[in-house]
Amino acid sequence: MTNRSVSAAARLAACLLALVCLLSLPALPGARAFAESPEEPAAPVDLTAGGCGLTVYPVSSYADFAEDLRDNAAITVDVYKVAEAAAIPGVDAYGYRFIPPFDDASVTTAAAAGMTLADGVNVPNAALSAAKWDELAQAAAAVVKNSTAEPAKLSAVKAKGAESVRVPASGTMDKGLYLVLAHTEETDYWDEEAAGGALTTKVESSGNKYRYLPLLVTLPHKSETLGNYRYDDDGPIVPDEPVTSAAEGAWIYDLTLYLKPESENRKADLIIKKTLRNYHVNSKALFVFRVDAAMPDAPDTSVYSAVFSVSLAADGSKATIARNIPIGAEVTVEETYFGASCKPSPGTKTIYSGLMTENGLVIGTEPPVKIVEFFNEGDGTNGGGGIENSFEYKEGEHWVIIAQNQDPGVDESELVSPGTP
Amino acid sequence: MKRNTAILLLLAAALVLGLTIGASGAYFTANDAAKGGYVLRIGHTPPIGEKFEDHKEVVITNEPDAATVFVRVKAFAAAKYQDKLGYTGSNWKKGLSGDFYYYYMLPLEGGTATDALHVSVSEVLPAGAEPGEKSNVIIAYESTPAIFTADGKPDFRTAWGADAPAAE
């Protein structure tokens, strides 16, 4: 058999493969994103240079945190070309040729799990699942992360207050397979703490942390009809059935992507320290502290409300800790009760208010503090004491007493980590 | 000379560990005052007890041979729930200022105990919370030497101040 006949056979195999195995479009892995675009007259796929574009929404307006991401985060969208579109003769479909540095074995191996290589072209199998696309996206993202020289990319920044960003910022982009990564310039690119070990990129706004899974999108795209998209409480979701090149409808060269980040509220702890002086009563003194917090844009909506106590029987110091206060919240810590025979020390604070940050409570223009201190001294001879009852809501819908402490509070050293300011 | 009016109270919080609070109508409940090893001796003061079952039951006990005292109790929940604490109990009265003190309206002689003050937390620990959510309820108590008027009535207002209800 001649080389020409081998090549012809390969092309024929590719054609048959493409006919039998409908080309699943990679822009729709699971429900993380979907594409929509005006329907165009049906025409064979055009794989000539240029002609494509993306409008990327970092979050659907239906998401609970959409407003936060829109108004408080400037999000950079990086788009890396992973593979160029390669025609499959005789078929209205296309495959991929991976380009450097994405022609790395890690990527082609991941691709081989869901594509068939024919005549140098990777043709997606019909059964190529969203999970396989995810694996391929992870492999491509790892190439970006591990490259000593960053691969060429198209970048655009969604400004604070804007809902979407256009890629490329001007002109058009070629047909092919692209990796889409969203992040913020102020934070680390990758989220090393991502659950499950998956590579994710990170976006942080004033009060929240978001993770984006790397997303592969193919251009051009093919959709059946826009009416196939269903809506639920979370907004538009992708059709249950994958969109294939065998479906009716036109090739779409300009896509709108709605990314779907995961939200993770960031929280921090605050230590409350009590120091008692000149106390001569033969009885315990109980001190009670209230911690309340609300986000600056919704001051009337509580995001944290708790009460804590410390008891002392003599001069000295003890501390307690308010855990999991939302970062970005305006926090007030108030000593609401100071024993039967104590008073605040002259010139000391009985209330602190500030902005919770990951480095501590920022009060005015002062550096953040992880400890707020209250000082009292003996004043009177009444006896007293008390008990702190702690409850936790358990699976199965009931509250359980988890601690009952008549001597609440511990030595500060048990709460403070090395280096705490 | 400092008056030794730290009248010797003892908190016996007989608390049922692992108590399950139902999704509705949740109350603390108490066992008996001396059970459970929660006795807290403060000098040579008499005991105070707290109990739990389906509601919180606060009982204050004065030690034998101790001087007669007046007592008051105050419960604390998170600010947004403070107004939702409920109180019932014979011979307990709410303070006049709305400062959440509850006064025991009888002198507490040595060796005697108050009637129970039931503190309801059914709305402080709401149904439908998120698993893992935590909440504290703190009970503070105070004691002061009993003072009587010339005609022998307890003088709570002289002892505690204007917040205390007058004796009946």
How close is the nearest chain A Cα to the Cα of B151, in Å? 25
The answer to whether residues A259 and A274 belong to one domain is no
Domain-located, residue A49: yes
How close is the nearest chain B Cα to the Cα of A64, in Å? 18
Longest dimension (CA), chain B: 57
The answer to whether residues A44 and A179 belong to one domain is yes
- Give CA A28 to chain center in angstroms: 19
pLDDT for A190 beyond 90: no
Last residue of a domain, one of A263, A284, A303: A263
pLDDT for A105 beyond 60: yes
- How much of chain A exceeds pLDDT 90, in percent? 41
Q: What is the pLDDT of residues B11-42, one digit of tens each?
A: 222 222 111 111 211 222 222 222 222 222 22
Chain B neighbors of A401, CB-CB under 8 A = 15-19, 21, 52
The shortest CB-CB distance from A302 to any of B52, B74, B80 is to: B80
Put simply, the answer to whether B17 touches A401 (Cβ < 8 Å) is yes
Q: What is the pLDDT of residues B83-124, one digit of tens each?
A: 888 889 999 999 999 888 999 999 988 888 888 888 888 778
**Average pLDDT along chain A:** 80
Chain B neighbors of A305, CB-CB under 8 A = 78-81
**Average pLDDT along chain B:** 67
pLDDT at B106: 95
pLDDT at A122: 92
Instruction: Give the up-direction half-sphere exposure of residue B129: CA atoms within 13 A in the CB hemisphere.
Output: 24
The answer to whether residues A320 and A208 belong to one domain is no
- Tell me the three state secondary structure of residue A195: helix
Q: What are phi and psi of A337, to 5 degrees?
A: -155, 135
Domain-located, residue A126: yes
Residue of A nearest to B79 (CA): A305
- Six-digit token string for A336: 């609401």
User: Domain containing A118: what range?
Assistant: 21-263
Put simply, the answer to whether B142 touches A288 (Cβ < 8 Å) is no
The shortest CB-CB distance from B2 to any of A286, A381, A406 is to: A381
- Tell me the three state secondary structure of residue A227: helix
Q: What is the pLDDT of residues A291-349, one digit of tens each?
A: 999 998 889 999 999 999 999 989 999 999 999 899 889 999 999 999 888 999 999 99
- How much of chain B exceeds pLDDT 70, in percent? 66
> B147 at the A interface (CB within 8 A)?
no
The answer to whether residues A205 and A295 belong to one domain is no
Q: What is the pLDDT of residues A347-380, one digit of tens each?
A: 999 999 999 987 899 999 999 999 999 999 999 8
Exposure string of B9-37, with b = 16+ CB inside 10 Å and e = fewer, is: bbbbbbbbeebebebeebbbbbbebebbe
Tell me the whole-structure pTM to 2 decimals.
Answer: 0.58
Put simply, the answer to whether B140 touches A286 (Cβ < 8 Å) is yes
The answer to whether residues A318 and A186 belong to one domain is no
Which of A290-299, A394-403, A404-413 is most confident? Answer: A290-299
Number of domains in chain A: 2
pLDDT at A397: 62
Put simply, the answer to whether B142 touches A383 (Cβ < 8 Å) is yes
Answer yes or no: are the C-beta atoms of A334 and A354 closer than 8 Å: no
Mean pLDDT confidence for A14-39: 37
Q: What is the pLDDT of residues B72-88, one digit of tens each?
A: 999 999 998 898 888 89
Tokens 């054609």 sit at which residue? A15
The answer to whether residues A217 and A358 belong to one domain is no
Last residue of a domain, one of A263, A291, A324: A263
Last residue of a domain, one of A203, A231, A263: A263
pLDDT at A195: 58
Domain-located, residue A351: yes
pLDDT at B123: 79
The answer to whether residues A27 and A96 belong to one domain is yes
The answer to whether residues A124 and A26 belong to one domain is yes
pLDDT category of residue A384 using cuts at 50, 70 and 90: confident
pLDDT at B19: 18
Mean pLDDT confidence for A255-277: 86
Chain B neighbors of A313, CB-CB under 8 A = 42
The answer to whether residues A76 and A174 belong to one domain is yes
Put simply, the answer to whether B81 touches A305 (Cβ < 8 Å) is yes
Contact partners, residue A384, CB within 8 Å, separation at least 6: A283, A284, A285, A286, A339, A340, A341, B9, B140, B141, B142, B143
Answer yes or no: are the C-beta atoms of A272 and A333 closer than 8 Å: yes
pLDDT at A416: 66
**Residue of B82, B83, B89 lying closest to B138 (CA atoms):** B82
Q: How many CB atoms lie within 10 A of CB B140?
A: 26
The answer to whether residues A139 and A233 belong to one domain is yes
Domain-located, residue A8: no
